Structure 1
């Protein structure tokens, strides 16, 4: 049975976001600049922000703009440690306008969870279009765990912030959990539990996730892994 503190929103417990009120951006969106910046990101995170290497690099596509911007600022200010990001996110290389452009560009990428049915023998079959569609299709491998129990836990603790089926909340800058690599989610759990990643800078010693057992999280992640957008 979960400790009473676990009744706190799972969004706060999992803390995979640094949610803050959305602010009007003083920049004109430059999609060409966003696309150009994404060419650098693609080396690790994929051409369409789909991530890779089974979660070594997380999915960025369709994440809320303000959430992505917050994370880039944390990397830039060395408040979230990631050596691979340092050379790309230094303030001299990526001002706020660039951060906005890439965050918005990535937020507008929509990845399908399954390919559309098609007849490869049809006279109008377009092999290149099919290849492009396959690149923009991403389905998370089913994770081990009790999906039914995970569904109940998620609906009780998480959906008010992360959405009914885990696809995030753009208005609140809360990230998606469904559609994200399970291995990546586990790494964030470990970093939050050991304070290598800080959820709230105003409470750096805040203990998160301690009221959830590994089995609780295993079941929640199993449920999220079978969600279709």
Structure 2
């Protein structure tokens, strides 16, 4: 399917710059610099579209050793699409991502999301976060059972028994670096990151202490790759909290 990108010259500058960074075709940066507008026939392939993505997230979206660029392969397409839209519309902030997708239409972003959702590369090697046994036990408890006294549901209730996510909008947690996990939970708690209302992760994050966040991140970092990284089918009945992004909202 071909899409007409609005504000074409700006969009091509974005795509050209991304491919230049990724070491892609030399013709696109040249076109971007001269202001020429290439045809979709020249560059509108999935390989060209995702060059800006794979620079940071790995060739198949498997993630890299840099903990701030997470694995995106195999995550539900609805989740990935919501994040791309949030970066484009400025409701989620990370300057390189905001710039990269600034002028891309919904249908274009949806195809990119579907592409990475279909990928199943091996999990990138990860160094386990060092933690004492009490911390690891606390992490395991929060993941498997939550903490009823603090109103914290089990991670597996929403992110899947195998922590591989749930269709259509909940991401997997396996394979994420501990510093990324802690950073995202902190951003939710302080209001720098948010999702469609009702924002279930905001409610969870505000009930987690710093030590709780570190415990969950440490335990997750010591888990092996799942046999099947595919997200679970949607199951709203099982979910302990109402979640806007799981109810078809972006």
Q: Distance in 2 between matches of 1:172 and 1:107?
A: 11
Q: Given that residues 143 and 225 in structure 1 are in contact (C-alpha distance below 8 angstroms), is that contact kept between their aligned partners in structure 2? A: yes
Q: Deviations over 1:42-89 (max 9, x none)?
A: 122221212335212222111110000001111111111121112221
Taking a change above 3 Å as real, the CA distance of residues 68 and 154 of structure 1, as seen in their structure-2 partners, is: same
- Matched with 2:165 is 168
Q: Is the 8 Å Cα contact of residues 62 and 110 (structure 1) preserved in structure 2?
A: yes
Establish whether residue 149 from structure 1 lines up as the match of residue 138 from structure 2.
yes
Whether 1:54 and 2:66 are equivalent positions in the alignment is yes
Per-residue deviation at 1:165? 2.8
Large movers: runs of 4+ above 4 Å: none
TM-score by length of 1: 0.66
1:102, distance to aligned residue in structure 2 (A): 1.0
Partner SS state of residue 55, structure 1: coil
Determine if contact 1:45/1:60 at 8 Å carries over to the other structure.
yes
Please say if residues 167 and 179 of structure 1, whose CA atoms lie closer than 8 Å, have aligned partners that are also in contact: no
Displacement of 1:214 in angstroms is: 1.9
Partner residue in 2 for 1:135: none
Structure 2 match to 1:72: 84
Post-superposition Cα deviations, 1:88-136, rounded to whole Å, max 9, x if no partner, equal 2123xx21221111111111111324xxxxxxxxxxxxxxxxxxxxxxx
Gaps of 5+ in 1: 1-31, 114-137
After TM superposition, give the deviation of residue 201 of structure 1 in Å: 5.0
Cα deviation per residue 1:143-181 (whole Å; 9 max; x = unaligned)?
A: 233333322211111111101131111x23200111112
Paired residues, what number?
A: 170
Tell me: CA distance 1:36–1:160, structure 2 relative to 1, closer, same or farther (3 Å). same
Q: 2:168 & 2:160 partners in 1: Cα distance?
A: 11
| Contact preservation (8 Å) 2:186, 2:205 | no
Please list every run of 5 or more consecutive structure 2 residues that lacks an aligned counterpart in the other structure.
1-43, 146-153, 227-250
- 8 Å CA contact retained: 2:75, 2:172: yes
The answer to whether the 8 Å contact 2:65/2:125 transfers is no
Contact 2:62–2:122 (CA<8 Å) still a contact in 1?
no
Separation of aligned partners in 2, 1:225 and 1:158? 14
Cα contact 2:185–2:213 (8 A) shared by 1:
no
